[in-house]
Amino acid sequence: MIARYTMPEMAAVFSDVARFERYLEIELLATEAHAALGVVPGADAAACRNRAPVVDDHFVQAVSEREAITDHDVAAFVDVVQDRIGAPAGAWIHYGLTSSDVVDTAWCWMMRDACDLLIAATGELLRTLVGMAHEHRDTVMIGRTHGIHAEPTTFGAKVALWALQVERDRHRLIDARRTVAVCKLSGAVGTYSNIDPSIEQHVAAALELHPVPATQVIARDRHAQFLYACAAVGTTMELIAVELRHLQRTEVGEVQEGFKPGQKGSSAMPHKRNPIAAETISGLSRVLRGNLQAGLQDVALWHERDISHSSVERVVLPDSALLAYYVLRRMNRLLQGLQVFPQRMLANLWASHGLVFSQPVLLGLVQAGLTRDEAYRVVQENATRAWDEGRSFRELLDDDPRVTVAESVLDEAFDLARAVRHAGRGVDALDTVHSG
């Protein structure tokens, strides 16, 4: 992932240094478990632990140089580790293991830790959204369907629905964490032919992973579920971002991204304050969905294994974790700095001359005895005139002899408070949301 969208805490999970540190710990734990069974001399296992190399940039470079000879990254890693530990103890490193035992266990360990960061980030975003929803519980605005004025709603109701979707994303991440927090050290084709199952159990317990049956590789539907959870996060962030982009359009002007001192919206037009954060989030969500597609194609492998998945995962697993984390954090910053303009929301609501109350008027006429179709035509004709002529919808209804309902019926139909009296139910639903 390019540095622009990389946050250090998530990058640390997938760095080359961190990956080789995980490989080394898996190898050392397996060697110690072999010693407990009497397969490896205890002194040699202790020597492996005591003389294990420090994994740093120099170590990574040494593995890279060795891989240029072996053309196999895990074999190169093992060669370097064995050389640093020295004979005879070093010869026990990787005993009974196949490359996927180490690589797959490390991947699952990394994905589990990535999930922890993502779950924490969704919790932070949830707290921001819940606070906004309560703050704007009674901030009235126009609801839109097909981009056209529909009926009144509240900004709090809108934000509450975002929060409830983020909560579902959080649960998806928790489920994905449970699914990927597994390991396998069962050797070639997964039959434990050259390694005792207790070795796997020892390593799993030490790493707080769960051993699972496998072929030579852990089933890739687990990885696909992780990628889906990341893609779902991105899609929710795009849902919010697209709405904010619409609300920031000049003609709407109901919200605005924060604009810090010294910031420039355009290199050419000094007046511009563009929704750059929301647009960035929308774009990155496309990458996350594309990565999911690649991950789904990794599920079907030849027989007990092939490596067609390997090259894909080196890209899509870390990149998806990094991007999902980035868009969560970026969205949280966006919302914390968001400017909301309640007066503009009200002005927009009334800009359609009261047409947003057409449904309660329709219902009032039906209650007065008109058929639904007759009532619909009366309301539609007056609504069309109101829009075309820029006139008050209510006044046109008052002047229409076909509208024989009591004035109180129309008063109630045009009562804004009545229209949004239940809009807070979505905000109330947040009482069950737990962001911790």
d(Cα 319, Cα 327) in Å, to the nearest integer? 12
d(Cα 83, Cα 88) in Å, to the nearest integer? 10
The burial class, CB within 10 Å (0-12 / 13-18 / 19+), for 161 is: middle
Please answer whether residues 279 and 241 qualify as being in contact, where contact means their C-beta atoms are separated by less than 8 angstroms. yes
Ramachandran region, residue 354 (left: φ > 0; alpha: ψ -120 to 50; beta: rest) = left
What amino acid is encoded at 293 in this protein?
Answer: Q
Out of 64, 198, 266, 392, the active site residue is 266
Please answer whether residues 91 and 205 qualify as being in contact, where contact means their C-beta atoms are separated by less than 8 angstroms. no
End-to-end CA distance of the chain: 29
d(Cα 189, Cα 301) in Å, to the nearest integer? 13
Out of 146, 271, 303, 434, the active site residue is 146
Q: Would residue 146 show up in a list of annotated catalytic residues for this protein?
A: yes
Please answer whether residues 322 and 233 qualify as being in contact, where contact means their C-beta atoms are separated by less than 8 angstroms. no
Q: Which whole-number Å values give the CA distances from 382 to 26, 224, 360, 391, 407, in the listed order?
A: 75, 54, 14, 10, 17
Report, as residue numbers or ranges, the catalytic residues. 146, 266
